Amino acid sequence: MKFALFANERKPNAVEVRTDLARYLRELGATVAVEMCDGAEELSAPKVQKSVHGCDFVVSIGGDGSILHLVHRLGIPHPPIIGVNLGTLGFLADVAVQDIFGSFNAIYHKAYKVSERLVLDGFMQDTFINFAINEVTIHRGNHPHIVDIAMHVDGSFVNTFSADGLLVATPSGSTAYSLSAGGPIITPETKAIVVTPICPHTITNRPIIFLPKQSISIELFHGADAVDVIFDGMPPIKLARGERVELKVNHEPFRLVSLTTSDYYATLRTKLGWTGSLRSSR
């Protein structure tokens, strides 16, 4: 097995964890082809893409945000990603740093699974602009008032939302910003896209779930000269009044590694602080 290791140098101890992991993987008999800091401004996308060529796995050491940042440099498609979580709240980084050696020992001995998750591609005037693993956010930005955003699906008008914005999320992103905005939790294996209004003026505006084969078109209708279109928290792209951004599911997935012992519902209970317990029916 050949690994590429990327540590988010902005995270405490990330570089030290990368060094220890590289040593351990070599002791197992694996090849560590790349050891880099993901966070350095000079670490360009072409350099990252070239460096991981021929690797079986790419390891992101940091958290969910570190994974998103790295994948936006890797591009789609990419080798399967293994996330090492140095933080607290996270759904993509499956390996806890406290059990890093045991987890990678399991991965080296093939006790893992690869989840293929939906990716959203964005287009303006038929030109590709970016992709999203979690969500595309259309937001009023610095404009002080709500804006009117019109949405079409497969060419059919759905609604004009008076709101702070709209979130278009994948199942991976359903537990991120969309959840905070009142959107539903969608299990990663589900093939669906959810659109969630952000602070809508009309309380009857609710999240809507669409099939991945459907094309979602969003237009700034009224209320500002332009709004921000943000892919996974990357730098915003301006959408001017009258312009449209079209969102479609990429035919290539985001590939994420998890341990065979991982339990998605246990992760939900832990990360979201759910306190319900299994009770006897007696």
- Mean pLDDT confidence for 251-265: 94
Q: What is the pLDDT of residue 44?
A: 82
Q: Which 8-state DSSP code applies to residue 174? A: G
pLDDT digits (tens, 9 = 90+) for 64-101: 999 999 999 999 999 999 999 997 777 999 999 999 99
38 catalytic residue (yes or no): no
pLDDT at residue 234 tops 90: yes
pLDDT at residue 229 tops 80: yes
Q: At what angle do helices 100-108 and 14-28 cross, to 10 degrees?
A: 40
pLDDT digits (tens, 9 = 90+) for 113-160: 999 999 999 999 999 999 999 999 999 998 989 999 999 999 999 999
Domains detected in the chain:
2-118+253-272 (3.40.50.10330), 120-249 (2.60.200.30)
d(CA 166, CA 200): 9
Contacts of 124 (CB under 8 A, 6+ apart): 237, 239, 243, 244, 245, 246
Strand ranges in 57-134 using DSSP code E only, listed in sequence order: 57-62, 81-85, 95-96, 112-117, 120-124, 127-132
Asked whether the beta carbons of 212 and 116 are under 8 A apart, the reply is: no
Closest residue by Cα to residue 158 from 231, 240, 215:
215
Given 38, 64, 94, 121, the catalytic residue: 64
pTM reported for the whole predicted model: 0.93
pLDDT at residue 39 tops 80: no
Contacts of 4 (CB under 8 A, 6+ apart): 32, 33, 34, 36, 51, 52, 55, 57, 58, 59, 79
Q: What is the pLDDT of residue 271?
A: 85
